[in-house]
Structure 1
Amino acid sequence: MAKKRKHSGPRPSRGGIPGMGGGGLGNLMAQMQKLQEEMEKTQAALQEEEFTVSVGGGAVTIVATGEPRLRSVTINPEVVNADDVEMLQDLILTAVNDVLQKAQDLQEERMGGLTGGLGLPPGLGL
């Protein structure tokens, strides 16, 4: 009579990808499809988000969406001075960078919540 050998480690899953549960490739594809749909919904919602940044005591106001895209730039006529164009340029640059950073932070937060468990490199799919 032949001796039975003891199995010392976990049994390999049949037809599945290790670490992915027993669902196999079909389950993985379904998960990826669901993730893609959720990402599309999140991106559409980000298009509706709006951020407003005002600098220089209200001299320059920038509005952007969560995509990010600039929606409007408002310059208070009182700050328009032909002798000090550099100040106006600095205010616009500061406001644009601030509003785009806010939009990017929200985008990373929302999209990261969807892709966080996948181990994807930062920025992939954003």
Structure 2
Amino acid sequence: MMMRGMNMQGMMKQMQKLQKQMQKDQEELHATIFEGHASDDAVVVKFTGDHKMTDIVIKEEAVDPDDVDMLQDLVIMAVNDAMAKIDDQTQKTMGKYSRNMPGF
């Protein structure tokens, strides 16, 4: 009976340690800047790991008043590129926690 209590306490300590590490990794991920690019870098966007846009750079040649659709497509392309990179890194960084936790 005593052994079980000790084991449970050790497990709780381990979980707390894991939770702290998970929080730290998530904070680092959120602070990371991800760049998304459209063709020829006509549009470049920057996002933090928690999906907040911090910057957008649009090359002059991408701005054509007669072809606003193209510019919109370039912005969408750049944003989607950044989102894919964030999702990929989130999976790499946080995925290890769900693999190691029972019940997930």
Q: TM-score range by the shorter chain?
A: 0.7 to 0.9
Matched residue SS, 1:52? strand
What secondary structure sits across from 2:66 in the alignment?
Answer: helix
4+ residue stretches of structure 1 with deviation over 6 A?
Answer: none
Give the distance between the partners of 1:77 and 1:100, measured in 2 at CA: 24
Q: Secondary structure at the match of 1:62?
A: strand
CA RMSD of aligned residues (A): 2.2
Q: Deviations over 1:6-61 (max 9, x none)?
A: xxxxxxxx636xxxxx712x222212211110011101211232222221212100
Q: Does 1:23 align with 2:7?
A: yes
**Which of residues 57, 60, 77 in structure 2 aligns to 1:77?**
60
Tell me the secondary structure at the aligned position of residue 67 of structure 2: helix
TM-score (norm 1): 0.70
Instruction: Please tell me whether the aligned partners of residues 67 and 107 of structure 1 are also in contact (alpha carbons under 8 angstroms).
Output: no
Q: Which runs of 5+ in 2 are unaligned?
A: none
- Aligned partner (choices 75, 86, 102) of residue 69 of structure 2: 86
- 1:66-118 deviation per Cα after TM superposition (whole angstroms, max 9, x unaligned): 22322211111222112211111111111101111101111111111233211
What TM-score, normalized by structure 2, do the two folds share?
0.83
Percent same amino acid among aligned pairs? Answer: 35
Higher RCO structure, 1 or 2 (CA under 8 Å, sep 6+): 2
User: 1 CA distance for matches of 2:103 and 2:40?
Assistant: 41
In structure 1, which of residues 33, 48, 57 is the aligned counterpart of residue 40 of structure 2?
57
Code of the residue aligned with 2:96 in structure 1: it is G
Which of 1 and 2 has greater Rg?
1
Q: Is 2:37–2:81's contact at 8 Å kept on the other side of the alignment?
A: no
For residues 87 and 19 of structure 2, the distance between their equivalents in structure 1, rounded to whole angstroms, comes to 20
Tell me whether 88-97 or 64-73 shows the greater mean CA deviation: 64-73
Q: Identify, as 1 or 2, the structure richer in helix.
A: 2
Q: CA deviation at 1:120?
A: 4.5
C-alpha displacement of 1:119 = 3.9
Deviates more, 1:101-110 or 1:41-50: 41-50
Q: Find the residue that maps to 1:83 and give its secondary structure.
A: coil
Query: Is the contact between residue 46 and residue 107 of structure 1 (CA under 8 Å) also seen in structure 2?
Result: yes
Report matched runs for 1:84-123 at 5 Å.
84-121=67-104
